[in-house]
Amino acid sequence: MPDTAWLVVAALGAGILNTLAGGGTFLTFPALVFTGVPPVAANATSAVAVFPGYLGGALGFKRELQTFDRQSLRRLVGITVAGGLAGSILLLISSNEAFSIVVPFLLLAATLAFLLGDRIRAWAAMHSRAITPFGSAGLFATSIYGGYFNGGLGIVLLALFALWGMTNIHTMNGLKNGLSFALSAISVVTFAAAGIVAWPQATIMMAAATVGGYFGAPIARALPKGVVQGIVAVVGFAMSLIFFLRLVI
């Protein structure tokens, strides 16, 4: 029961964080590891746990997604799925020992990306003319990262869209949610087929994350942006430090 309670609390918090601004992986992945799930399986299970939220986000931005040319959108989805599959397979062939070494750096990078998200997007917008709109290489590389480790994916995608020259944040968020859903779908299928998902934990956390996402909406409206960023940053840096300490102790 204590382990189950930790997983429920972590998933509730992840659902709220993802609704507020993202960063739910900072809670779900460490909670699974700390309750005894091996790192690779924990990462796969975490991806399954937060998956329903991407579907809700994609449906919520249906109007924005409909503004894209269907052929272009299918092409972007195809690139995302291919990259997500490659990243998922890369995770499958990683040992728990190797992944444990990489995790602290991934968590720290994702936290910094989240904290500096506005500056990254502003820099990307200033350099948008240097990048081909809807380019394949950047999206494929980003999708590999998302298939391997989902943390901070939204920030990276938004920065990439800014490099493409996109400026409407609602359209960008719509595309981000749509592509995130496609990427997560292929990751979930790949991890499930490989048999590395801890389904009892995943089922509990999916339900809790969905509830957290629902209650996160009014919280998001009430809290200032700076407070939200501070909460996610504290969680991200704390988890990074803990996993760094696990390497040396």
Q: Which amino acid is at 202?
A: A
Global pTM? 0.82
Residues 183-223 pLDDT 10s: 999 999 999 999 999 999 999 999 998 888 777 767 766 77
Residues 92-140 pLDDT 10s: 999 998 898 998 998 888 888 877 877 877 777 776 665 566 778 889 9
Residues 41-90 pLDDT 10s: 999 999 998 888 777 777 777 888 888 888 989 999 999 999 999 999 99
Mean per-residue pLDDT, 156-162? 82
Mean per-residue pLDDT, 224-230? 77
Q: How many CB atoms lie within 10 A of CB 241?
A: 13
CB 63 within 8 A of CB 168: no
Query: Please, what's the b/e burial string for 111-121 (b: 16 or more CB within 10 A of its CB; e: otherwise)?
Result: bbbbbebeebb
**pLDDT confidence of residue 142:** 92
CB 25 within 8 A of CB 180: no
DSSP secondary structure string, 213-237?
Answer: HHHHHHHHHHS-HHHHHHHHHHHHH
CB 228 within 8 A of CB 115: no
